[in-house]
Structure 1
Amino acid sequence: MSIHTYMLFIGASVVLCLVPGPDMLFLLGQTVAKGRAAGLSAALGINLGAYVHLLAAITGLSALILASATAFAVVKFAGAAYLIYLGWTAIRAKGGFALPEDVGLQKTVLRRIFWQGFLSDVLNPKVALFYIALLPQFVSAQDSDAMTQLVVLGVTGNMVGIATSVIYVFVASKMTAILRRSPTISAWMTKLMGAMFVSLGAKLATEKL
């Protein structure tokens, strides 16, 4: 793999990371509603989920799921149901979602956000499509080290993803810090985030990928 090909892949990864999707919405929603620590926890969870997709793509599991209509439908509807669940939970929440002052409780909340981000990514079939469709475009099957190149590209893509996510978190946190100080505005932002999740879940359940 040439340096030119590698740089093209990085550019493609940056562009794809900037495209809005369930993971980005979850990341920004947590940041806007709860602040920087929540956003970073979500980003780390999402990034870990991306490595699950990478491992599945390398072992061929993703290809098998995408080739099976039943397995693909299960993953798609599970992801849609999870998004709707997160959205409905946010809509029903009373007040804002500011993190508690108690350190022990705060760690519990951040841990929950981390795993929510992880599941949000793992249950997103579009991420599986990314690895199956994009990675092979930059690797030649005739190369003796094709598998190594897939791993390098996958890890690189995930590093671009976490870097992009962290930038989003810091920008969003800075821009919405004043808004989170108002319980009323914070509550409405939380409900808006929930409504967007429900809408995304419904869209994922009905669209053909």
Structure 2
Amino acid sequence: MSFEISPFLPELISVSIVAVFMAISPGADFVMVTRNSVFFGRTSGLYSSLGISLAIWIHVAYSIAGLALIISQSIVLFSLLKYLGAAYLIYIGWKTFRSSSTLEVELEADHAALSNLAAFKIGFITNALNPKTTIFFLSIFTQVVNPHTPIWVQMIYGGIISLCHLVWFSCVSIFLSQPALLKRFHDWKSAIEKVIGGLLIGLGVRVATTDLG
């Protein structure tokens, strides 16, 4: 078995470019990291970012196994994924929208009201149930990656995609949890809760009612 990477450099560059755009494109992951960073502090945002980056490996696994194409072509499986993801976004959005009396903007990250495990799970589930992420991986592993590309190379591609998400969302969390920004967020806490809650609900409704195939 050859472990020479140079024959796959064009693929690697293409995957890396797509990975960057995949990570920074606005969507449920971004809104969820924003929510946790603003309301619960930097640590919660970072754990949510870690959850997102690790959930990427679920998509990598089924793509390498060739299941992405099956999922995309199965109305039942893809619809199940789509509605589960939509329901989760609406659920979190509704909790955020109506919880202005209990959510507090944390001015110190080590006093976050959301446990690290809970923050991680929110990020993980949000990405794992995101049908748009499935579409991204379908396009990467059917249009960019050659079917004969060795599994170890495809694993490198997965690592690049996961790392891009971890770096991007960690940067988002660090930026949004700056003390100066959090003090401003505190002044507008109720309005921000309504906006972010509404965005999550809107994203959930859009996922549920849009044909992503």
Which TM-score applies when normalising by structure 1?
0.87
From 150, 153, 170, give the equivalent of 1:149.
153
- Cα shift readout 1:95-117 (whole Å, capped 9, x = no counterpart): 4333598x7x8586232121011
Output one character per residue of 1:76-96: Cα deviation in whole Å (capped at 9) or x when no partner.
011101100000011111243
2:117 equivalent in structure 1? 111
Residues 135, 154 of structure 1: 8 Å contact kept? no
Is the Cα contact below 8 Å between 1:58 and 1:150 reproduced in 2?
A: yes
Residue identity matched to 1:179: R
Q: Within 1, Cα distance between the matches of 2:139 and 2:10?
A: 20
Q: Distance in 2 between matches of 1:44 and 1:107?
A: 18
**More displaced 10-residue stretch of structure 1: 112-121 or 187-196:** 187-196
Asked whether the 8 Å contact 1:97–1:187 carries over to 2, the reply is: no
1:51 partnered with 2:51: no
8 A contact 2:94–2:197 mirrored in 1: yes
2:193 to 185, 190, 194: 190
2:103 is aligned with 1:96 = yes
Point out where structure 2 has 5 or more consecutive residues left out of the alignment. Answer: 1-6
Q: Structure 1's 25 and 108: CA in aligned 2 closer, same or farther, altered over 3 A? A: closer
**Is the Cα contact below 8 Å between 1:80 and 1:202 reproduced in 2?**
yes
Q: Tell me the residue number matched to 2:3.
A: none
Conserved in 2, the CA contact under 8 Å of 1:80 and 1:204?
Answer: yes
More displaced 10-residue stretch of structure 1: 130-139 or 155-164: 130-139
Distance 2:30 2:209 in 1: 20
Residues 49 and 122, structure 1, Cα contact 8 Å, conserved in 2: yes
Give the letter aligned to residue 98 of structure 1: V
1:98 match: secondary structure: coil
- The AA in structure 1 aligned to 2:104 is F
Query: What is the distance in 1 between the residues matched to 2:42 and 2:17?
Result: 27
Aligned twin of 1:169:
173
Question: Corresponding residue for 1:208?
Answer: 211
CA distance 1:89–1:2, change in 2 (3 Å): same
* 2:16 match: 10
How far is 1:177 from its partner?
A: 2.0
Provide the rounded CA distance (Å) in 2 between the counterparts of 1:126 and 1:107.
Answer: 30
What code does the residue aligned with 1:39 have?
A: G
Normalized against structure 2, the TM-score is what?
A: 0.85
Taking a change above 3 Å as real, the CA distance of residues 136 and 64 of structure 1, as seen in their structure-2 partners, is closer
Deviation of 1:11 after TM superposition, in Å, equals 2.0
In structure 2, distance between residues paired with 1:100 and 1:31: 11
Separation in structure 2 between the aligned mates of residue 58 and residue 167 of structure 1, nearest angstrom: 29
Q: Distance in 2 between matches of 1:13 and 1:2?
A: 16
Q: What's the counterpart of residue 72 of structure 2?
A: 66
The separation in 2 between residues aligned to 1:142 and 1:44, in whole angstroms, is 31
Which blocks of at least 5 consecutive residues in structure 1 are unaligned?
none
**Do residues 21 (structure 1) and 32 (structure 2) align?**
no
SS state of the match for residue 141, structure 1? coil
Identity of aligned residues (%): 25
